[in-house]
Amino acid sequence: MKISKEERDYLEKILSISPKVDISVVRDILRSILMEISIQVLCGNTDEIYIPFLGKLSVDIKDRILKAGKEGVKTEVKLKLEPSKVLEEELIAIYRGEEPPSTKYIKKLIDFKLYDIIKQDK
């Protein structure tokens, strides 16, 4: 499966946040999400496909007959994401100019790491 430049750039952003994770692991996880969505669509479960941390994805696939002069049918895919509570809290905090939960979590990890370093120096 070939990925676009946009997808490659996004993978690099993820890796810059999680440098201990290999790019192949991130790519495999994202591919697995894509495959799970495909399986759900194949099974006809397009109303509720839950993606952890992101939310509930609804898929609407329809064929549309092209207008006169253009023969054929065009298949349209419409996606709607109902955000998870986690994503919603993150975005609301950012919108309000507050510290998002992910930043609080990162700060907590840094505190624990610094504590371990200080503890080792004693």
Q: What is the mean pLDDT of residues 15-21?
A: 81
Say how far apart CA 45 and CA 34 lie, in whole Å.
14
Residue 115 has pLDDT above 80, yes or no: no
Evaluate whether residue 90 is within a structural domain: yes
Spacing of C-alpha 96 from chain mean position: 22
Residue 122 has pLDDT above 70, yes or no: no
43: its two tokens:
């099974």
Domain tally for the chain?
Answer: 1
Evaluate whether residue 99 is within a structural domain: yes
pLDDT category of residue 73 using cuts at 50, 70 and 90: confident
Evaluate whether residue 12 is within a structural domain: no
The pTM of this model reads 0.69
pLDDT category of residue 51 using cuts at 50, 70 and 90: very high
Residue 113 has pLDDT above 80, yes or no: no
| Number of neighbouring beta carbons within 10 Å of residue 49 | 20
Comparing C-alpha atoms, which of 88, 32, 30 is closest to residue 56?
A: 88
Give the pLDDT confidence of 77-97 residue by residue, as tens digits: 999 999 999 999 999 999 999
Residue 114 has pLDDT above 80, yes or no: no
Evaluate whether residue 5 is within a structural domain: no
Structural domain for 111, as ranges:
84-122
Say how far apart CA 42 and CA 114 lie, in whole Å.
48
Please report the pLDDT score of residue 87 as a whole number. 95
The mean of the pLDDT values for the chain is: 86
Evaluate whether residue 75 is within a structural domain: no
Please report the pLDDT score of residue 12 as a whole number. 87
18: its two tokens:
């999680």
Residue 121 has pLDDT above 70, yes or no: no
Evaluate whether residue 74 is within a structural domain: no
Evaluate whether residue 30 is within a structural domain: no
Say how far apart CA 42 and CA 112 lie, in whole Å.
45
Evaluate whether residue 67 is within a structural domain: no
What are the CA-CA distances from residue 109 to residues 1, 103, 112 (Å)?
35, 10, 5
